[in-house]
Structure 1
Amino acid sequence: MSVTARHGWLVGARRADRAGAATGIDGNHLGVDCHRRLRGPYSGAGALVRALVPLARDNSPRLVRDHLVEILSVAPELRETLGAPPETLTSLAIPEERIRFYSPLRTRRLAHGLVEFVAGCAELRPLTLFFDNAHAADPTDQEFLAILVRRASPGTRVLVGTATTDLPDSFAAALREHTATIAVRPAPATHADDADLVRRHVDSDGTTDDPAEIAAYACADAALRAALHDRRAAELESLGDWPARLGAVPYHRERGTDPAGAGVAAWTVAFDWCLSMGYYHAVLDGALRCRDLLDPDTQPQQYLRASTRAGTALAVLGRPDEAERIYRDLRARHDDPMTRLLTGYALAMLHTRFHPRRDHVLARAHIEDAIAAGALAGDPAARTFHTVFCRNGLALIEANLGNLTEALALVDDGLASLDRELGPDRHRLHRSVLLHNRAQVHAALGDLDAALADLTAVLEADPHYPEYHVDRAAILRRRGEHAAALADYDRAVELTPPIAELHYNRADLHAELGNTAEAVADLAYVLELEPADLLARVALATLLLESGDEAAARRHVDEGLARHPGDPDLLATKGLLIEDAADARAAFEQALAADPGSVVALAGRAALHHEAGDHLAAVADLTVALAHAPDDPDLLHNRGIALRAAGRRAAAVGQPRSCLV
């Protein structure tokens, strides 16, 4: 991007130099520090939200209400002043009953919601935002910044400061595409003879880039450093700054006088909370740090906790082989029932859900071992919970093996066991998950009435969980209850930060109902969120073409092909937009070279054959198309016309009567 770009990427080794450059661009900028050692995930976004919420609350209270989930996810301490968003059984569950965790896509959805919150604030006051130390930011902040520089509203200028251009690929690509890179000239470094250099290093929470402070800290007496870290941790804890417990506090406690005690305790608080929020990179970092600090033989329970948290994060982040190594290491070290249960269940889920090459039979063996271990673990209530939990995992495996009736029986038995052996207020989240799972099995079996009844029951228990509304909408749509399905989609949109898939599904239903404007709006929003979404691009271009807006359709086809060269669906749509017959045919044939079964390309080329008088060639193309879409009335109709034009009236009459003119 040229240096005239609205946004800037300031690259310089020292924070002071980058700050000076930002001031030179806009002296009224709002600056935040993104270093993850300060507040862990969303150090930068959280600081930004804390600065902007007063502006929004005083001038646009609805803006705060509409984005309360995102705001409190990155700045949880604001709950005391803003109140809580609609709670779900997941958010309310005590740690011992928390059996469901967020999708790894949640942070991307939060980032989109935060970008829209910033845009709303920029309508109240133009903003120049300076995010420094982005090279040392948690992946949550880097993901947010990558989206912000792409989607920022006209009233927002974004400056990103880093010490290097060596950044994660997706983050660096976004900065290269949407900002002007500005090399920051270093000012002469001057350092006084300061005996407090070590203290200043510690008080920066390890974020200093001052060479003298770094050198003095490296050379300082280890006992002095540990004492300074203890003092700083105690100071932060006394301030009651909750986000500091996700970054600075565990950083200092790990380096203090009791790393295996206070350090592990501080990191455990951090990674447990991050797990509950779906911040999996931070979970992995903290859990692995704990494993390094712990003695697995003398601290087995803490080691087990840190290891299973690390394994969960690795699995969710798409690193199942590393997760499996952790679980197998645990099984080699300890053979107690709880270790067998947790690792057996985890290995089963790896093989039935996360490994690229699924092995459901091996997964079943692992889950059966976990069930056997659960029968030996804890008091009767704990045994009931663990048995039902693992048998629910077995139900998933049986469903993956195609044994839907067995899966249904397992879920039914689990619900009955919880009702029979535990009080109604125990494990409410687990009961809702079982009901949801049973609804999915009923739907797979084609029993839509039972699936709808279960989803309605689970929504009565957990009305603010958006996934349940989405799933019920799908069932209602299959039943032909389109108005009710739209209502569920609308409610899900109200309850969650932006989810591209949700808007795509709603657009598809709108299109089916002939609500073209609404479908176009939803699909356009999907592409604003995720410009590389190929399905949405094709659907929008097709819908625009069908509605007569050929110019807009052509723009989307061209942009789609720039992102997805050679995609057959886009090429086929391009052929429909080209007036010259030879060029249109070339586009159709390109599409068919990539996908010989492309119905749109076959039908388009058939129309060109028919117009050129080659009716038998048109029939041949339409016959191939019908092999892929045998119930398409338009294809049948057009083949009947082509057959008649070719003089094969008897064959044309053999077509279904409703398809002939």
Structure 2
Amino acid sequence: MERAYRLVHGLVGIVLEWKQATDDQRQWLIVVRNFDHAQHLAVRFLAELARRAASDSRIDVVIQTDRDTSAMASFPPDMKAIPRDVQLSVITSPPIDAATAEVIAASDDTVLELHFPRLLQYYRDRQNSFAAAQLALRVLAVYNRRGYYHEAKSLLPTILPHFDLLVDGDQSKRMNSVSEINSCLVASGDGEQALRTVRALTDQYITEPHLLANINYIFAMHHLRYLDAKDTESAEHCLLLAKDYLRTLDDHPTAGEHAFLKAFIDNGLAFLRIRQKRHQEAFDLCRLAYESVTHDLGESRHLLHRSVLQYNMAQVHVMLGQLEEALECYRAAIAMDPFYAEYHAESGSILEQLGRDADAIDQYTQALEYSPPYPGVYLRKATCHARREEWQDALTCSGICLELTPDQPELHAARAEIFAELGQTDAALAEYDRAIAMTDDSVAMRVNRAVLHYNNGAYEQALADMDEVIARDSQNPNHYENRAAIYQAIDRQDLHQRDLSMAEHFKEAA
């Protein structure tokens, strides 16, 4: 899901850079028809485009909606709205014919993703609900791989009425489809519905031991991760039952086909052991699972899945404080899947903990190269640059992070400190203004802003900040000493002495 959100920011960036590249000084107006039917990522894209374009890009986003004024209050302030009854020219895609429908249906996932809405509408127009369900199930799997979980979930009303016919008595197909449905539900935050749906679609239908093992693994993950009420005892019962089902296949000719299932069940058990604070057992389970898969399948096969097992081992090493060992696991994972940005980002975090900021910056740079805009990594990279006193790089990275994720008062405050270090007082004050507007109760930020105002000779503004600070934190002697200095600067000796006395009083009380 996070990667899908980063894709949204990448698309917004394309639009903004396109506008800039055309050197078109005119105002652009983007009108969104049928906004009330937009799905999760489309709404997020339009909101982020409206927000990021609002400052200086000369792009307005206008949505056409039937929603009332109270509902509109939840939309970003930069997004404008017009009623649905306003007449607009309508752009429609022409309906497809039978030959085109056949071509789209036979296409690979990339072509299908581009054109499936027209194909879905083609089936619906002909009241062929089964063909629509077949298509929706296929697209659901594509969307899950992309991280478009809410969009995948929206296909379930088309799929579920025909589910039994779609799997046609094939237990493996049923299990694979149930796993896909479970994935989109839990990833979109609906664990309770996911568990109900899995039970309804598998109870009394699944009898093969390896599939029962898979179901119990899914149940365990619900109890450990996805349900509001976590239940480690039920999770352990399900995981041990899953291992028992697989153990019945040890002498079966198909035993080797279930190597990954066994490995991920053991990794699930390792996750449980971590929750139980049995960290060494967790690591041993991860290590043995990886060694078993590698032995059964070879060093050069299934690199993607095996890199995930290395990642799991790295996570346990971190929990045990074994940072160098964790780095080795990440290096192994990167060797198998070198373009997975998260491995580089996690490596950078460990390098930071080891005090190796230059190496961390290298890893963060790789993560940014292999990912759409990645706000968390920009933040970590900015922090590393700041520790190395590479102020301009720190400002650049933190500025990008704030453009992507604006509600970060502490980051504005950090940027203020950098500007103050560079002697750019006005820029520092502007950053403190933004930070304090977001978190009005911050005493430290107001104190720092007061110091800047004082050094700038703006005594009234400094005094206003310190008055507010003392109103919020009235027993700190340092605040009175700071305000006393301001009173002295404006030649109010009576108030200067009063605050010095108050400072002494609270020092004695402490």
Task: Sort the TM-score into its range (normalised by shorter chain).
Answer: 0.7 to 0.9
Please tell me whether residue 123 in structure 1 is matched to residue 20 in structure 2.
yes
The answer to whether 1:106 aligns with 2:3 is: yes
Quick one: distance in 2 between partners of 1:375 and 1:353? 25
SS for the counterpart of 2:373 is coil
Q: Does 1:613 align with 2:500?
A: yes
Which residue of the partner structure matches residue 350 of structure 1?
A: 222
Question: 1:476 offset after TM fit, Å?
Answer: 1.9
Question: What does 1:554-593 align with in structure 2 at a 5 Å threshold?
Answer: 554-567=429-442, 570-571=445-446, 573-574=448-449, 576-577=451-452, 579=454, 583-589=464-470, 592=473
Contact kept? 1:511, 1:519, Cα under 8 Å:
yes
The counterpart of 2:59, out of the listed 136, 143, 157, is 157
Q: Does 1:267 align with 2:136?
A: yes
Residues 341 and 369 of structure 1 are in contact (CA less than 8 Å); yes or no, is this contact kept in structure 2?
Answer: yes
Residues 446 and 465, structure 2, Cα contact 8 Å, conserved in 1: no
Q: Distance in 2 between matches of 1:498 and 1:339?
A: 39
Shift of 1:171: 9.8
Contact 2:412 2:431 in 1 (8 A): yes
Compute the displacement of 1:591 (Å). Answer: 5.3
Q: CA deviation at 1:277?
A: 0.5
Q: Structure 1 residue aligned with 2:35, among 111, 129, 134? A: 134
In structure 2, what is the equivalent of residue 325 of structure 1? Answer: 196
Q: Which amino acid aligns with 1:285?
A: S
Please, which of 289, 310, 314 is the counterpart of residue 158 of structure 2? Answer: 289
| Higher relative contact order, structure no. (Cα contacts within 8 Å, ≥ 6 residues apart) | 1
Amino acid of the structure 2 residue aligned with 1:340: L
The equivalent residue for 1:310 is 181
Task: State the match for 2:492 in structure 1.
Answer: none
Distance 1:398 1:238, change over 3 A: closer
- What does residue range 225-264 of structure 1 map to in structure 2 within 5 Å? 233-234=101-102, 237=105, 241-253=111-123, 256=126, 258-260=128-130, 262-264=131-133
The answer for unaligned runs of 5 or more in structure 1 is 1-103, 190-200, 206-227, 597-601, 624-661
Instruction: Tell me by how many angstroms 1:411 deviates.
Output: 0.8
Provide the residue aligned with 1:477 in structure 2: 352
Q: Secondary structure at the match of 1:440?
A: helix
Q: Report SS of the residue matched to 1:425.
A: coil
The CA deviation at 1:303 is: 4.9
Change (3 A) 1:587 1:360: farther
TM-aligned CA distance change 1:591 to 1:109, over 3 Å: farther
Q: Tell me which of 403, 413, 434 is aligned to 1:528.
A: 403
Moved more, 156-165 or 420-429: 156-165
Question: Which residue identity is paired with 1:140?
Answer: L
* Distance of aligned partners of 1:120 and 1:256 in 2 relative to their CA distance in 1, 3 Å threshold: same
- Aligned-pair RMSD on alpha carbons? 3.6
- Whether the aligned pair in 2 keeps the contact of 1:395 and 1:406 (CA below 8 Å) is yes
Name 1:178's counterpart in structure 2: 78
Q: Are residues 1:334 and 2:205 paired? A: yes
Q: Counterparts of 2:71 and 2:335 in 1: how far apart (Å)?
A: 44
Aligned to 2:493: none
Q: 1:157 Cα deviation (Å)?
A: 2.8
Encode CA deviations 1:37-78: one digit per residue, 9 max, x unaligned: xxxxxxxxxxxxxxxxxxxxxxxxxxxxxxxxxxxxxxxxxx
Cα contact 2:378–2:398 (8 A) shared by 1: yes
User: What amino acid does structure 2 have at the position aligned with 1:178?
Assistant: D
Call closer, same or farther: CA 1:584–1:187 in 2, change over 3 Å.
closer
Q: How far did residue 433 of structure 1 move?
A: 1.0
- Sort the Cα spacing of 1:323 and 1:494 in 2 relative to 1 into closer, same or farther, 3 A: same
Distance (Å, rounded) in 2 between the aligned partners of 1:352 and 1:365: 12
How far residue 577 of structure 1 moved from its aligned partner, in angstroms, is 4.6
Q: How many angstroms apart in 2 are the aligned matches of 1:312 and 1:620?
A: 61
Paired residue for 2:234, among 353, 356, 362? 362
SS at 2:267's partner residue?
Answer: helix
**What's the CA shift for 1:312?**
1.6
Instruction: Give the aligned residue type for 2:50.
Output: V
Residues 468 and 232 of structure 1, relative CA distance in 2, 3 Å threshold: closer
The equivalent residue for 2:381 is 506
- Maintained 8 Å contact 2:63/2:81: no
1:264-312 CA-partner distances (Å, limit 9, x unpaired): 3211221111111000012112244211222379546455444432322
1:407 Cα deviation after fit: 0.9
Preserved contact between residue 348 and residue 362 of structure 1 (Cα < 8 Å): yes
Match of residue 342 from structure 2: 467
CA contact (8 A) 1:442 1:451 kept: yes
Cα separation, partners in 2 of 1:304 and 1:383, compared to 1, 3 Å: closer
Alpha-carbon distance in 1 for matches of 2:68, 2:257:
49
Query: Matches of 1:565 and 1:358 in 2, distance apart?
Result: 36
1:431 aligns with 2:431: no
Compared CA separation, residues 574 and 475, structure 1 to 2 (3 A): same
The equivalent of 1:280 in structure 2 is: 149
- SS at structure 1 position matched to 2:287: helix
The answer to whether structure 1 residue 147 and structure 2 residue 48 are counterparts is yes
Alpha-carbon distance in 2 for matches of 1:484, 1:575: 37
SS at match of 2:75: helix
Deviation at 1:589, TM superposition (A): 4.1
Matched residue, 1:400: 275
In 2, Cα distance between equivalents of 1:530 and 1:150: 11
- Report the 3-state secondary structure (helix = DSSP H, G, I; strand = E; otherwise coil) of the residue aligned with 1:385: helix
The equivalent of 1:371 in structure 2 is: 243
Kept after mapping to 2: 8 A contact 1:129/1:156 = no
- Decide whether the 8 Å contact of 1:574 with 1:584 is kept in 2: yes
Instruction: Give the conservation status (yes or no) of the 8 Å contact 1:439–1:450.
Output: yes
Q: TM-score, normalised by structure 2?
A: 0.81
Q: Secondary structure at the match of 1:295?
A: helix
Please say if residues 588 and 604 of structure 1, whose CA atoms lie closer than 8 Å, have aligned partners that are also in contact.
no
Map Cα deviations across residues 112-170 of structure 1 (whole Å, 9 max, x no partner): 11122122222232355444333322322221111111112845534444242369969
Distance 1:425 1:239 in 2: 30
**SS of equivalent residue, structure 1 residue 162:** strand
Number of aligned positions between the proteins: 475
| C-alpha separation in 2, matches of 1:522 and 1:204 | 46
Answer whether contact 1:288 1:306 (CA < 8 A) is retained. no
Deviations 1:510-535, CA, capped at 9 Å, x for gaps: 11222222212222221111111244
CA distance in 2, matches of 1:132, 1:477: 47
| Cα shift readout 1:327-381 (whole Å, capped 9, x = no counterpart) | 3334534352355333322232233233344333432222222333344578222
| Counterpart position of 1:77 | none
The TM-score with structure 1 as length reference comes to 0.64
- 1:229-264 CA-to-partner distances (Å, cap 9, x unmatched) read x6774475489853355322234335646533x333
Residue 415 of structure 1: aligned partner: 290
